[in-house]
Amino acid sequence: MKRILISIALLATAVLTSGCGIFTKTGTGSPSTDSVKAPAVDMSGKTGIVAHRGFWNCREAGFSQNSIAALRLAQENGFWGSEFDVHLTGDGVVIVNHDNSINGKLIWNTPYSDLKNELLKNGEHRPTLDEYLVQGAKSKTTMLVLEIKKQKDAEHEDMLLDKCVAALKKHHLFKPDRVMFISFSLHVCQRIAKEYPEFVNQYLNGDKSPEDLQKDGINGIDYQYALLGVKSSYIKRCQDLKMSTNVWTVDAENIMKKMIANGVNSITTNEPLTLREVLGDNELKISK
């Protein structure tokens, strides 16, 4: 009975302190090694579903990754998060796209007007971040997982981050319970840690230990599943450091089960309905 009461108390604490159902905002200020502003890890034991580039892998989205339809479908299905990628065009427009080129045109060398009408499979034009966030703002129960892609140099990565922050503010989405950041760029993650420590900020590149990231104030990892299979201690070490954990990109049921058993907070997948089935009652959702 005593153990049950302690569990209920811990769960109640998590619910009361959690802004979005999984992570807790723990303050602002510059990070330091002894007081990293790490969002606390959810203690419910449930796992969030992150739709990779939106819920694109279905007829309704026209099988179009990073489309506005794919974001809308992720929201309508109530997935915990919906991931998307952003780049900076040659004339300084932030657009939503995965690769750094579109039909042979390098995004950072090309003005948006020359990219806009390189249509997605479902007929949408390449969305600007501004257009994308109009849809993003329509749901409070799906976290926007914003991947800031590497740019040609740190100066352009800074410009991209600044423009993302400005766009999020414009759409009233610059809030830790509405958006989180991920990046392969250590520079981007370090800047977010320094300037916006209250946001979940996960490093993607897999070449840093949890302890090394914490020294920089970076409060989460988002690593490839094969790496986390080899370095399975990373998840427990992140939990001990109160760092958040996500794994990409898991489409096979057996790997989903393994990662859930390892205790990751959330899983990025192209097959969110399969993951939903695997999780059953253990799916983490954001309540309104």
Where on the chain is the footprint of Mg ion (CB under 5 A)?
A: 85, 147
Q: How far is the CB of 268 from Mg ion (least distance, A)?
A: 8
Q: How far is the CB of 145 from Mg ion (least distance, A)?
A: 8
Kindly tell me which of 85 and 177 has the beta carbon lying closer to Mg ion: 85
Kindly tell me which of 147 and 157 has the beta carbon lying closer to Mg ion: 147
Q: How far is the CB of 147 from Mg ion (least distance, A)?
A: 4
Kindly tell me which of 147 and 177 has the beta carbon lying closer to Mg ion: 147
Kindly tell me which of 150 and 171 has the beta carbon lying closer to Mg ion: 150
Distance CA 69, CA 54 (A): 8
Q: Which residue is nearest to Mg ion (CB)?
A: 147
Q: How far is the CB of 202 from Mg ion (least distance, A)?
A: 11
Q: How far is the CB of 65 from Mg ion (least distance, A)?
A: 9
Kindly tell me which of 202 and 214 has the beta carbon lying closer to Mg ion: 202
